[in-house]
Amino acid sequence: MNTKIYEYMIAVAEQKNITNAAKQCYVSQPALSQHIKNLESQLGVTLFEKTKGAVIPTRQGEVFLTTARRMLQIEQETLKRIEQLKQNLPG
**53, burial (CB in 10 Å: exposed 0-12, middle 13-18, buried 19+):** exposed
Sequence-distant (≥ 6) Cβ neighbours of residue 12 within 8 angstroms: 18, 21, 32, 36, 48, 55
pTM over 0.75: yes
* pLDDT tens profile 23-76: 999 999 999 999 999 999 999 999 999 998 899 999 999 999 999 999 999 999
* pLDDT tens profile 56-67: 999 999 999 999
Q: Is pLDDT of 91 > 60? A: no
